[in-house]
């Protein structure tokens, strides 16, 4: 069965650079979530989309933005990267308020 696909799996950026993370949800899933997980931390909610419309924002810095496209894939854009942005970034998708499945994550390292 198709799972949530995230790319890239690993990303190394320098401070003040920009990064774009991509997420391809499970086909026919109507909700996409983005989470940030720092080392030793629980996942923190960033932003979600329902049917391509932004539905909620969590603790997402103004330097970050996200969108969901007509084909339902989503992108998380991060600008002016800081060392503290180094984390594992997860995308998850779900359908009709049931199980939510996560991608394998993108490990971002800012140096």
Contact (CB, 8 A) for 98 and 45: no
Q: Distance between CA 9 and CA 59 in Å, rounded?
A: 23
Backbone angles phi, psi at 57, to 5 degrees: -125, 135
Our finding on whether 89 is near another protein (CB under 8 A) is no
From the list 40, 39, 66, the residue with the least C-alpha distance to 53 is 66
- Subset of residues 38 to 67 that bind another protein, contact rule: CB under 8 A: 42-45, 48, 50-51, 53, 55-56, 58
C-beta closer to another protein: residue 86 or 102: 102
Is 22 a binding residue for another protein by CB under 8 A? The answer is no
Site residues, another protein (CB under 8 A): 30-31, 33, 35, 42-45, 48, 50-51, 53, 55-56, 58, 88, 90, 92, 94, 97-102, 104-105, 107
């Amino acid at each position: 069965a198709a799972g949530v696909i995230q790319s890239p799996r690993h990303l190394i950026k320098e401070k003040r650079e920009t990064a774009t993370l991509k997420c391809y949800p499970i086909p026919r899933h109507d909700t996409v979530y983005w989470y940030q997980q720092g080392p030793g931390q629980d996942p923190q909610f960033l932003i979600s989309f329902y049917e391509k419309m932004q539905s909620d924002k969590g603790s997402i810095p103004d330097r970050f933005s996200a969108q969901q496209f007509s084909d339902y894939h989503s992108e998380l854009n991060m600008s002016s990267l800081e060392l503290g942005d180094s984390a594992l970034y997860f995308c998850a998708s779900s359908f009709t308020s049931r199980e939510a499945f996560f991608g394998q994550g993108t490990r971002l390292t800012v140096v």
